[in-house]
């Protein structure tokens, strides 16, 4: 699958495609359904890359971050341990950013798919796995700490 075939597939599904103005990669698009959320980034880091990164970044809202910081240390650790286990079960790569902090500002969820002989179904399986993993992160945070109206900050979205 190449970039043009990928874009045709995304458009066929009724998803919008935008190119983030800050993108420095060889190929970087942001996809979203008509309602605008959730947004998923698809990235090919450089011209010679033979893979796409399918990524969703979840920006932790300041209110949620404050609530997380108010938790007892062992409760906070348990919350992130359970979230880690759930994401591992879903088969996605993820990162709590910035690394080494007790409370992340961003949770990045991603999968890598190789372009060579990539079928539409394989792409969609990876795409929706990332989307569902990101929505799980959002749901767990909102269930635990309450719903905050989502605001955007670039291609990341507060939860």
CATH code, domain with 13: 3.30.1460.10
Q: Is 80 exposed, middle or buried (0-12, 13-18, 19+ CB in 10 A)?
A: middle
User: What is the per-residue pLDDT across 39-53, written as a single tens digit (0 to 9) for each?
Assistant: 999 999 999 999 999
C-alpha 98/C-alpha 93 separation (Å) is 15
C-alpha 59/C-alpha 70 separation (Å) is 18
| pLDDT value, residue 155 | 46
> Domain limits at 110?
3-158
What is the maximum alpha-carbon separation in the chain? 50
**What's the N-to-C CA distance of the chain in angstroms?**
33
User: What is the per-residue pLDDT across 132-152, written as a single tens digit (0 to 9) for each?
Assistant: 999 999 999 999 888 876 555
pTM above 0.75, yes or no: yes
């Amino acid at each position: 699958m190449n970039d043009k075939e990928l874009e045709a597939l995304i458009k066929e599904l009724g998803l919008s495609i935008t190119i983030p103005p800050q993108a420095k990669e060889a190929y970087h698009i942001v996809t979203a359904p008509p309602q605008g959320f959730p947004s998923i980034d698809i990235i090919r880091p450089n011209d010679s890359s033979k893979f796409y990164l399918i990524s969703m970044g979840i920006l932790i809202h300041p209110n949620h971050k404050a609530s997380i910081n108010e938790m007892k240390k062992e409760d906070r650790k348990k919350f992130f341990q359970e979230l880690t286990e759930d994401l591992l079960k879903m088969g996605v790569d993820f990162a709590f950013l910035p690394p080494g902090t007790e409370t992340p500002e961003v949770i990045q969820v991603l999968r890598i798919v190789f372009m060579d002989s990539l079928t539409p179904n394989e792409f969609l399986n990876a795409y929706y796995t990332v989307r569902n993993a990101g929505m799980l992160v959002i749901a767990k945070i909102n269930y635990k700490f309450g719903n905050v109206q989502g605001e955007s900050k670039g291609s990341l979205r507060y939860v």
